[in-house]
Amino acid sequence: MSQQSQQKTKRKVGRPRLPKGHAKGQIVPVRFSADDLKRITAVARANNQTVSEWIRSTLSSALG
């Protein structure tokens, strides 16, 4: 097999990158203490939300 045909068959794992400006949002790194993260996770589960969904909804409510 030639080198050119090997390059065509190699594919990266995962979905292709989205075009610029089409991402869902920006990632903001935040640190939580272990206790806070446990509490956040418990409340998120109780509300049938992911941790990210709960954080976004809570911040949105706080911001009005």
Single pTM value for the model:
0.63
Per-residue model confidence as pLDDT tens digits over 3-56: 555 556 777 888 888 888 777 788 899 999 999 999 999 999 999 999 999 999
Residue 1 scores a pLDDT above 60: no
- What's residue 12's pLDDT? 81
Nearest-5° angle of CA 41, CA 46, CA 48?
90
- Other beta carbons within 10 Å of 42: 10
Q: Which residue has the higher pLDDT, 44 or 1?
A: 44
